[in-house]
Every structure is written in structure tokens, then in C-alpha cells.
Chains A and B, each alone.
Chain A
């Protein structure tokens, strides 16, 4: 719980500090280069925003508003930041959610189905190429082949399920490649362990061997990495949403960066921090279920509760 507060507070503070060292006057940035505004009006805006008060007071006020869930108003759209982000959250959640599912399925399938030295060497080569290709290029190639040449999927935009497939696959591929690499490393390490000899001696089929034993061995590392990668999906969404001309948080982020819309950027930073916190809490709950070795951390507590270690 303490680390949750620390990450969110740290993120907010970094955002606050970063935007105080930003070159140029915030009011000029906010109004844009074309604005013809007198100095008196600028001074009025400055005092409205509290920019004429001491920095520490501004910081306290900023944190106070955050605690109440008030992220301020977008400079460009003149809407509350929570509304700007909230409205675009749906499409991005669909995109990243489906991408995560595809990535997990692909990685698990590769781990389960690819066996033997040769097969693993091929898989590892494919993963290297996928990881080395820029995600926006993969997207363009998929779009070019499956939408323009074959006509299987709609080209862009749209809110129907079919238009979600290509963007999700694009976003999922590098995640799947990284995950399957880590899973395979874990499985190979487990195959060198003496316990596997026992498993094989008991006559376990290769499938059971992987499913029940080696994959589980690799699983804890896989889940931890998957959690880290969930965050990276948000970064990837900026590129994928641009390539496929989809609405979403990525587009909001990019627009906010080009327009220097600082309140929106702060909102995105906090959203990302929130995702990190939520996902890591989930991981701490899930990993002990997969890897029993991590459950014996508090043997005394368990003994008292009557749970066998």
C-alpha cells in the first residue's frame, strides 16, 4: 500500500517539476503561438491558475486537487481532463485488452507446441525478427496485406469488432515474442532440473510434462514480465492508434504532446502510474498461485492458520 502511494505521489511530483522547468511561459504555451493577447489578460489567466503564487503553495494546491480527483482542465479542449481521458478510455481498453489476450495465447501456444532443438531455434529466430521490427511498420505491413490486398479487414476507424483485429495483433506481436522468449528460457531451465527426471520416470506425457511442471516453473517469471508489458501496451497504443487511425488514449496523448496540453499530459502520467500500481498488485496475488515456492514466505503465519506449508 505504501508503494502504491509512493508511485502515484512520485508520478504527480515528477509531472509537477517537469512542467515547472519547461522552457517558455506556461500561459504562452497554453495560448499557442498565434494568440494575440494583451499582457493584462495573460496576467489575469496567470492569477486564475495560481501561477503567480509561490511554487510550494502551487504544489500543495496541485496535490490537493489531485486527491479530490480534480485533474484540471485541458488547455486545448476546455474540458475537464478526467472527461477527456474517460471518454477515450474505452477504445484503448478494448485494443490493449484484446492485444494482451492474443499475446498470452500466442506465447502459451509457442511454449506448448514448439519442441526440440530445431523448432526452438526457429521460434527464437522469428521472435528476434518480430522484436526488431518497429511496431508501426508491422502495422503498416499487416494493413497493406490483409486490408488492401486481401480485403479481409476494414482499413481503419470504425467501431465494429473486425476493425479491432489488426491493431490488436500488431500491438500483441512484440509482447508475445518477448513473453514466449522468457517462457522458453524458463522451460529450458526447468528441463535441466533433476526433478524432471522423476516426472519422466513416472511416465508423464510430454504435454503433461510441460503443462504441469516446466511451464509452471517458467510461469512466475512470465507473469511478472507480462505485468511489466501491460504498461508498455499504453506506449505502443500511441503508435498503433496513429497507424490505424483509431480513437483512444494514444491519440489524446499525442495531441496533448504536440499542443503542449500540460493538464492532459499530467492525466496520462497518472493513468499510467495507476495501471502500474493495479497490475503489480494483481501480480503479487497471482504469482504465489502459480509457484508454490513463493508461498512459504510466511511459514509461521500459515502454521498458525493451519495451512500446510
Chain B
């Protein structure tokens, strides 16, 4: 294998590049990024960047090694697996090995004539930062990690903040207990949370001015931000033969086709029961990129993808770190501290074989959280 092409410009793509180098891959590495700036981390976009305390310079990742050919403004437009060519507006790029890491983009709910505000790229971040500064009220549509982080930052800036969602914010991610606690803290901080039974319609064009609920009532704000998840960037693969089912379907080695692997937000992985799930989180992108490169270079010999199942959020002065299955059900076992006291280490469904562990404002390092989750399972295998 002499030429590896990596399509994408965010953390999955970059991790793939670094893993190729760690594996002493001696061939040429080309990175095709659709973005107009060098790779950066999206994590601070809803926090420091939105608050105006961090600029794009602060969130740019360390430059790639000089021998890596990074081509910005170069989106992949088509893939030909038979001839091993990625097509771009600048011309065809041949490969021996291909890493697909085209990520996702913000999901939208508005009409084409509505200039919907979302937060996914640095451009989105810079624009929202300016607009939130000028606004006195902010309406966030969607109460996932991103939506609630935006609400937290906006509230800290003194804005009047409302979050609207179909379900109680965060419960599907953090479960009802921790989700409820975070909502309580958010409410105490002055955020208004509206749970609506039925979808919302985005009002105003081109600039959104509010939403209409199914009962016809309306909510308006100076700034309306949609944070309703993301969709994988797979359109360029139409007709390529790559299996697409809500993302690129990858096997347990992150393989897609001969000499083609995929990693990060663009993928879906089959779980035990045959269902396909996406895990659009930072650590999953890193885990998958590592497995994908190993599979590309070593085939079946490579260690399969083993998700670390770790994600986190920071909002309203709470630092929440979670390992294991999302949406833990029922009451947790308290391993340390107490939720009511503001610092707790919690496990579900029990302490001996937890499937989910959450640290809330609790100084248990993530590595130890992962060990708490894995140690019983490993002991059981012995």
C-alpha cells in the first residue's frame, strides 16, 4: 500500500493520519478536507468560542507533519471503488487505501428559505458568538448536550434563555436521574425549559424569529438556535456501492469495502441485536480511527474496534463524565458523594457489574471510570 487518502478534516481523519504514522506507514498520506481552515476541535464551540473567550486560533489543532499533504477546500464528490479513485472539484485522487471520515453536519428543521442558526463549524461559532452578544433573548431548539451547553453559555452571558424539546432535555442521554438533576440546576440558573408534545415549526425568514408548537402557541426570541443533532455526510457516496443505512455501515474492524475503511460521525455500527447505532462523540471517533487504520494495514490480524463508550458535557457549572451505555434506567447505586450535595459518582444498575457510570463534579479520572465499567466484565470472562 503506497498511497493512503483520508477524506475529512476533523478528529477522526486526523487520528487516522497519526495512527498511520505511529504504525510507520511509509507511503504517501493525502488528506482531503472540505473545510477552509486547518483542523480544529469543535468541543469549545459551544463554550469558550460562543462566550467569546476563545478564538479559532485557540482551538486549532497542532499542525500535521510536513510530509502529510493536507488539501483544504477540497470536498470529495464521488467515490469509484473499482478504479480506486476519489473525485473532487480539483480532479481525481487515486488511492491504494482509503479512510472515509467525512463526519456529519447539523440537522435542520427549517425551510430552505430560512437561514437557520446551527453550531457545528467554526464559522457557525463565530457568527453565533456575535449574534448572542447582540441578543437579549435566546431560544434553543433541542435539549441534547449541544443545546444545553449553548443554553448554559448564553445564560452565563446574561441572556434570557429558553430551551424547547420533545422530551425532557438530557434524559435520553444521561438518564432521568442525572438528566433531572442537570435540568434542576439549569432551571435554578434561570433557564426556562419547555417540553412540547409534538414537533415545532421554525418561524421567520430568512432569519428565524421563533417557533410554533403543535397547539398553535408561539415562542419568540432575538436569537433562535437549532441544536437537534447531526446527519452523516454520505451524499457523495451515492451509487458507489458503499452500504448506507443512516450512515456508512462498518464492520467490527471499521471496514467498508476492500481497502476502504471509515471512522467517526459518518459511520453506523451494528450492535449485538442487529440494530445500527451511531456514536457521534469525540472518543468514539478516536477509537474508530485507530481500529480503521489497523484494519487497513493489517487486515484480519488487526484488533477489532472496541469503543471506550466515554462522553462528557460541561454546563451550568456541572462537569458530567459518562462511560458505558447511555440513558441508564432507574435509580443508581451511589459509589461516592451525593447528587443533592452537588458531587457524586453513580453506577447503574448495580455496583458489581455496572453498565453505566457517571461522575458529576466528581474527581474520578475517566480512565478510572472506564476501569470501573470494565473490571467486572473482564473478571466474568476469566
Q: Do A and B come from one complex?
A: no
